[in-house]
Each structure stands twice: as structure tokens, then as C-alpha cells.
Structure 1
Amino acid sequence: MPASPSTARAINDRVALRLLQQEGPLTAGQLKQLTGLSRPTVADLVERLTASGLITVVGESGEQRRGPNARLYGIVAGRAHLAALDVRTEGVLVLVSDLVGRVLAEASVPIGGDAGTGPAVEQAVAAVERTAKEAGADRLHTVGIGAPGLIDPATGDLRDSAGLPAWHRNLAAALQERLPGARVTVENETNLAALAEQREGAARDRDTFVLLWLGHGVGAAVVLDGILRRGASGGTGEIGFLPVPGTTSLPSATDCDGGFHSLTGAAAIGALAVRLGLPAPATPDGPGAAAIVRRASETTTERLDGGDAGTARVTSATGRGRLTPGESVPVAGAVAADGGEGPAGAGRAAASPAEAGHGCSAPGGSAFVDAVVAADGDVGTNGLTGSPAAGTDAGRGRLAPGGSAPLDADLAARFLGVLADRIAVGVASVVAVLDPGCVVLGGEVGQAGGAVLARLVQERLRRMSPLATEVRASSLGGTAVLRGALLTARERAQDELFAPPERR
């Protein structure tokens, strides 16, 4: 049955608006070419969309051309303003954009752990209002929020998760109350990061892939056939709770300690660095872990670029024997690096359900602190002389924020090798069940490891699984959540504004 004239017009309008969003300003002739519509039909839709205030003339297609055919039409960017929030345990990141996604203002607001629920919510809401004012937005049409924890698939609300600040759950309702008329939506942060990587990042050419988020904690997002999969309870990707070999306990329903998080969370990475003789991260969080991973990756890259790859050696975490660059480190030995073996003061990295992924993180547990204490002695050095490594903080074996301490190449390669072993354990489990063909290492740590860490994980995965899987580094890193929140807010706003008048 052919579409009615009104339905056909609505479809044509939507197609034209999507093209203007994707391609930028276009002439009527270019719209005709891209849509395949007749010249009169294009002229009608241009007139209709201009009259409705959705598009306007923004210029001409060439300096030497004049007249109606040369006019460039673009979406009226100021028709609506959008806000995106990346909600974290320690604060919130905010940006405000126009309808086409051009960022107009940004803000970062720290929120202390000792702030009560009411004051914390007020700080976050006030930050959104200030940023909107700075952007010149009289009102916000849509607000997209990325937050850790589980999203109830039935209600779209953030579920009560142990270990997460209470103000997270109250923020959406407070914004809805303070921003009358705004559409406020909440999505899991790792899911948003995956959407951003698919639209603008490392997975742009993939309809099926898994994003492994490596930051303060760990999480995963699954995209199959172009669709983000959330699961029956909204918990797809709770990889921090995945039982793994080599840990001294099993995770529970309320605590991911002993799961995959204990191998790859920020606290575990920091403890591993110290145990292998590298400087401790300045802070036991995602950025801190990313700093030491980045330095190790850069050091390894410099060695390879310098033609010294043949002498690069990766040793097991227990220090027994040497391996060739492509050889795998036994997982049990790797876990023991911050588990029960080795010198006193290096315990297992603790974890509790909280921030990263869908709700599992380590807020810098006792194992990390113990490892840092051990680093104050002979261990926390450049691994060679017993003196603090250059660029460390206060001579205490701690990598200073923004520091670029030179790392011993053997230790850097060994550290990345063990970390790749740990990551590969979780990735292999995901690949065995989903066969995604592509895994993106996201978050601050995934981006910091870059192509070097991705290649090491892929090499290990190739030996562990018969399923061909490409491992890529994130191109967005820690900004992916905010980008994903903005993309979803823009899509929701455009879905409403671009709909026929009778459906708005």
C-alpha cells in the first residue's frame, strides 16, 4: 500500500534533515542528488522546513555563484539547546551544545565524598544551570546523563546500587524539577561510551563489537548487529563480577572482589606497577592508572622504534624466568603479583561495587595503599638503583601528576605483558560467548595503552581462543561517556523536533 501524501512528506523531511545533520549545509541540488527526489519535491520540502523554522539559508556554495540554486541550507542550530552530563563518584562533567551538537560551554565540578545527598545534588544541578547560562541557552530541551550503575529497563531509572553515592539516583529527578519542560534521560556510562565509539570512535566500521571499559573500575558494553544490548535486568556487561582464575576468592552478588575487577581495576593496576618496580600512580583512580600505563606504552614504543625489539624481554610476575616478547605470562603468576605472594605489604587489590562499568569499582582499597607503602622502600624506584625514579612525587616512588618519569624498558615491557595477560582473561570469556569479532579497549586505561596494549591483548587472545577477534584501542578514552550522552540527547531532541507537527 503506497504511503499517503502526508506520510510521504514526513518521510522526505526526515531524510533531508538527517542528511543536513550528517553532511552539514547542502544546496537544494545536493539534496536532490543525495535523496533521489525530484526537483519540485525538494523545493517543496525546503520551503516547508524553512517555514517551520528547522532550516535556514547559511551561505552560498561558491564565491562566484549566485541565485537560488547556490543557497546553502543548514539546520537552525539555536532551535534547541542540549546538556550532557558524565556523573562520577567524585563529581560531574557538564557540557551544553546547540541542536547540531556544537559545544557552547563546559564545566567540571568536584563533589566531595563527605557531601550530603542534598548538597551534592544542588552542586550538580547548579553546575548545569551555570553552564547553560554561559552557553546563552534560555532553556534546555534535552538533558542526557551518563552514570555508573544499573538502569532499570522498565522505568529508565538508575537502580539503587551498593557503593554508589545516593545523590546519583536523585539527580535526574532534581534536574527535571528545576528544568521544567526539559526531557531528562539516564543511561549507563559504559553503554554511552560504546555508542560514542561506534558513531565517532574506534568502532565506526563495526555493527557488532564489545567495548571493555578500563578506568577506575571495569565494565563492558555489547553492541550486536548495530543494537546496544542491555539484557533482561539492564546488567549486560557486568564483567567486573566475572570469576577469574588465580584470585583468592570469588565475587558475590554485592561485591566484585575476587572477580575480573581484582585484576584490571585502577587499584590493581597501581599495585601491579609498584610490585614490578615502577613508580606508583599519583592517585588510585582511572587517571592515575592511565598515567603509568601510558608511560609504559610510550617506553615500549620508543624501544621498538629504536630497533631494540629483539632484546625486549617480558618476565613473569613472580620473577621466575624470562619470556620472549610474544610469549604469554602465566595468569596465576600475574595475579600473585598483587595477591598473596611476594614481599610483605603487597596484598590483593580490594574492590567494592561502585563506579565503573555497570557498578563495580575499587575506591583505592587497602592493597593499593599497602603497595604504595612498600614502594617507599627499595621497591618503589625505577627498579634498578634503590633511589626514587626521576619525575616521581616527593622522592617517594610515586608518579607525579603529569610527570613523564623515564621508565626502565624491561620493566615497562614486563608490566604491559602482565597487564595484557589479565585483560585477555576477561576478553576471552566475552569472545567465547558472543564472538563479537572486535573488542575496543576503552576508558582512560584503554586509551593510554594505545596500540601497544591492544596488540599484546590480541596476541594472547589469539592463543586462547579459536575465534578471530580484533582488539583496538579507544580513540575517545575518558571523554567517550560525555560524547555518548550528548549524542543520545541530540538524537532524542531531533526525533521530537523533526517529527511532523501533529506528532510533536
Structure 2
Amino acid sequence: MTTIDPGTPTWLRAHNDRTAFRLLLEHGPLSRSRLGQLSGLSKPTAGQMIQRLERVGLIEPMGETSEARGPNATVYGVRRDSMTGVAISILADAIEAVVTDPTDAEHPVVVLPTADLDRSPESDVISAIDAACRAAGVPRTSVSVVAIGVQAAVDADVDEVSLTDTLPGWPLVGARARIEEATGMTVILENDVNLATIAERNHGTAADAESFAYLWMGWGVGVGVDVAGVVQRGASGSAGEIGYLSVPRSALAYAPDANDFTDLLGPQGVIPLLGGAAGDTVETALTRLAGHPELMSALADRVSVAVRLVEALLDPGLVVLGGQTGIAGGDELAALVQERLDRERPETRRARRVLEVRASGVPTQSILRGARRLLTTHIRECLEETIAVG
């Protein structure tokens, strides 16, 4: 990274150009005069910023607009092809993928079943990239970075994935390096619950929260921890892996055979609780919640045990119930859990609500949406770096 001394003409130009770039991302295509108004800089200076950004290939003309006086003015916008990536979510039985660009434009989402695939880090990711690019109509050669959500703890420092059984063919160590070597791309590996937490912050019910915990309940059980908009990953990427923790004695009243929180709230706990048959998926079992208040109440009993643990460890102001189970239970489940917590709270703390429970506001593809958000941020930061040296 090139360092520019503050206060020098070069630093001022880079500062102004980055401001212009961010405004174009925030507001979409702008004319020179409108860019000057939004930036607080003169129209000639705005014109110079546009010229420099266009010269380094970050923006281009995108039509004209009529202004109050004079002829129509050219509007400029950020080029979608200035840097392209693919966001990927590797699920238990499928891979989701979507092309991502600096404008965060919508592109088709592809879903690849994995049942018949010969699995490896390289083949999974290359198949996803190829399918996403075909669907979006962009050349694969334009992709330079991928963000991949996996059902595993991810230690980025040593390139290790652990605590997973949904990545057949993936090594415990070196998966990222293998993908980078096979594709020639920058690779970002991230835990699935952390990505769902990012999606909840940016697109869901936690947008107004100072900090919050995201309780994922579905194929597995885990917690995403957001502190002031930053996801906490822990020293080795294992923060929030509560599925492997032993349940407290209080949980045995609801699930006598449960050893850990996965037994309590994972598939092996939820499917029998809801009367599921052998071979049922979590999604199938959860359809029985509708119209059966006794099942919703029994589920709320179990969820409240996990929320109490999260409250004791983190003392968050908000817990969001997500994953397939949290989303299926929705507002009704959140209200029942809230009721249990409020009822058990000491009298001295009932005067104000210390912890709020909400249902997730991202009902579909939360992991993919989080990967897309993470990737968009990465792309924009990389492009800003080119402004400094361009």
C-alpha cells in the first residue's frame, strides 16, 4: 500500500477522489454539479474528480440528466466491471452462488445440488463461480475474488477449518490455499453463522442495534456476536460454537437425553420434538409448528435455555433468533421466549427490559447475503486503494 503524506496536494486529491467514489456508490450516477453539491466542493473540482476517476477506470458516463439551467448534463456512475467477485454459500446439500460487483447490483442466484458431485475445495468453488458467471452473463475471467461461507469454524491465520461434517473432500488445513492456487483469485473463507450475522446487521431486524447476538438454530447451533457492527471471531475463529457445549441441568426437564446444545436445538432434538418421522429434514419437521401452539411452546422452552446462556456470557441488548428453526418460529417464537425471560428476571431488573428477543428479518439465503455484503465491502476497499496510487 502506498502511503501519502496528509496535507500534500497528492493526499488532498486522493481524499477528494475517494469522497467522490463513495458518493457515487451511495447515490448512484451523478452529474458534475450534483457531485459538487453533495461533496461540498466546487463544480470545477468535482469535474476534476470525475476526470481522474474515469481515467483510472472506476467510473464511466451513464447517460444524461436535465438540470435547472443550460443543456443536459452527463451523469457518471461506478463501473460494475471495475472489480467483480462471486459470493458463495456451501450448505449441507447444495451450493448457492451469486456474482457481486462494487455497486452491489442484483444478479441471479444459482443453486447447485451437491449429492452427485465429486467434492473438493477447488471443484466446489470453481463449479459455483462458473455457474454464477453464466447466470449473470459476465466472463469468468473478470472475477478476481470470492467470499465463501462454510459450516465450520474458520481460523484464517493458519488456513484451517474445523468443527464441521458438511464439507466432504475438504482438508482441515490448506483449503483456502488450494482454491487460490486453482483459481488465481483472492479467497475469503468465513463461518456461515458469522455471515448470517452480517446479513442481519445490514438487511434484517438488527439494523438499529448497538450490538447483538445472533442465535442460529437449524442444521447446527451457533452464535454470531456483533459488537458495534463488527463480528467477533475469537482467537481461532471458534467464537460462538455453543453447539458443542454441555447443556445445563435445567435443560433436562425438556430433553432428558440431551448432552449438548446440538442435541437440544439441532436436528436430532427438534425433529423428534415436532413429531418428525425417520428421514425427515429440519425444514419438514418445522412445517408442523403452524397451528400447533403446544409445539411452539415446547420449542420456546428449549430456546430460552440457549438464550439464557448467551445472556450470561455476553449480556447483549438484543438476541436475534435465526437459522431454519428461528425463522420458522418467527415473531411468535420470539415473543414466547421473551415472555419466559421476563418472567424469570429478578424483580429488581423488571423495571426495564435488559434483553430483547427478535425474530430474524432475513428469512432466506442469509449466509449468501452476508457473503455478498462482506465481498462488496472488500471490493470497495480494494478499489479505494487504487485511487490512492492511480
TM-score, normalized by length of structure 2? 0.85
TM alignment of 1:335-354, pairs within 5 A? none
What do the CA deviations read for 1:304-329 (whole angstroms, capped 9, x no partner)? xxxxxxxxxxxxxxxxxxxxxxxxxx
C-alpha displacement at 1:54, in angstroms? 0.9
Q: Hey, what's the Cα distance between the residues in 1 that align with 2:279 and 2:197?
A: 26
Match of 2:56 in 1: 52
The percentage of aligned residue pairs carrying the same residue is: 34
2:91 to 81, 88, 91: 88
Q: CA deviation at 1:123?
A: 5.1
What's the offset of the Cα at 1:221? Answer: 0.5
Paired positions, count? 372
- Give the direction of change, closer, same or farther, for the CA distance of 1:444–1:34 in structure 2 (3 Å limit): farther
In 1: Cα distance, 2:335 partner to 2:122 partner: 42
Distance 1:258 1:474, change over 3 A: same
Is 2:231 the partner of 1:231? no
- Give the distance between the partners of 1:263 and 1:440, measured in 2 at CA: 18
Alignment correspondent of 2:23? 19
Alpha-carbon distance, 1:76 to partner: 0.7
Query: CA separation of 1:245/1:289 partners in 2, compared to 1, >3 Å: closer, same or farther?
Result: farther
From 302, 307, 316, give the equivalent of 1:427. Answer: 307
The reply on whether 1:464 has 2:344 as its aligned counterpart is yes
Of residues 355, 368, 377, the one that matches 1:491 is 377
Change (3 A) 1:185 1:257: farther
Question: 283, 287, 290: which one pairs with 1:291?
Answer: 287
Structure 1 pair 66–433 and aligned structure 2 pair: CA distance change class (3 A) = farther
Instruction: After TM superposition, list the pairs within 5 Å mapping 1:13-412 onto structure 2.
Output: 13-62=17-66, 67=71, 70-112=73-115, 117-118=119-120, 121-122=122-123, 124-138=125-139, 139=141, 140-155=143-158, 157-161=159-163, 163-169=165-171, 172-180=176-184, 182-242=185-245, 243-246=247-250, 258-274=259-275, 280=276, 284-293=280-289, 296=290, 299=291, 412=292
Equivalent-residue separation in structure 2 for 1:453 and 1:66 (angstroms):
59
Q: Which amino acid aligns with 2:310?
A: V
1:443 counterpart residue number: 323
User: Which structure would you say has the larger Rg?
Assistant: 1
Deviation per residue, 1:126-149 (Å, 9 max, x gap): 232233234232221210000011
C-alpha separation between the residues in 1 aligned to 2:277 and 2:369? 27
SS in 2 for 1:59: strand
- Compute the displacement of 1:116 (Å): 5.4
1:257 shift after superposition = 6.0
Greater percentage in strand: 2
Amino acid paired to 1:203: A
Contact 2:193–2:216 (Cα < 8 Å) also in 1: yes
Tell me the distance in 1 between the aligned counterparts of 2:43 and 2:84: 33
Please, which runs of 5 or more residues in structure 1 have no aligned partner? 250-255, 275-279, 300-411
- CA change 1:65–1:129 in 2 (3 A) is farther
TM-score (norm 1): 0.67
Query: What is the CA RMSD across the aligned residues, in angstroms?
Result: 2.9
Q: Is the 8 A contact 2:156 2:189 kept in 1?
A: no
